[in-house]
Amino acid sequence: MPTIRFLLADGAELAVEAQNGRTLMETALESSVPGIIAECNGSAACATCHVVLPEEIMVALGPISEHENDMLDFAEAPRESGSRLSCQVRVSDMLDNVSVRIPSA
């Protein structure tokens, strides 16, 4: 099981075990990670699961969809180069020990 390191807006870190195939959003909600609201329940319609990933992971994941790109414009926190909707990122071994930052609004 990969370990995901959520970096919270207050500077704290929360390391959680994640199941391959689940989304980062599902992993965060199951582990009660603060800052992931997921109002739309993972349908990429609200941007309340906005996270920031390291550049090397962004490259490895490939380009985001046009819909996700548009939705990130509505995120409460300012968009950054590593911004993704956590509901659109599936956990895999590639994400083991990756720091996933939850931006402050």
How far is Cα 35 from Cα 57, in angstroms, rounded to an integer? 21
Residue 105: per-residue pLDDT: 74
How far is Cα 101 from Cα 95, in angstroms, rounded to an integer? 13
Residue 89: per-residue pLDDT: 98
The CATH code of the domain at 3-101 is: 3.10.20.30
Per-residue pLDDT of the chain (105 residues), as tens digits, is: 999 999 999 999 999 999 999 999 999 999 999 999 999 999 999 999 999 999 999 999 999 999 999 999 999 999 999 999 999 999 999 999 999 999 987
How far is Cα 61 from Cα 57, in angstroms, rounded to an integer? 6
Look at phi and psi of residue 87 and say left if phi exceeds 0, alpha if psi is from -120 to 50, else beta: alpha
Closest by CA position to 14, among listed 24, 3, 23, 22: 3
Residue 6: per-residue pLDDT: 99
Q: Do residues 31 and 19 touch, judged by C-beta distance below 8 A?
A: no
Residue whose structure tokens are 């985001």: 64
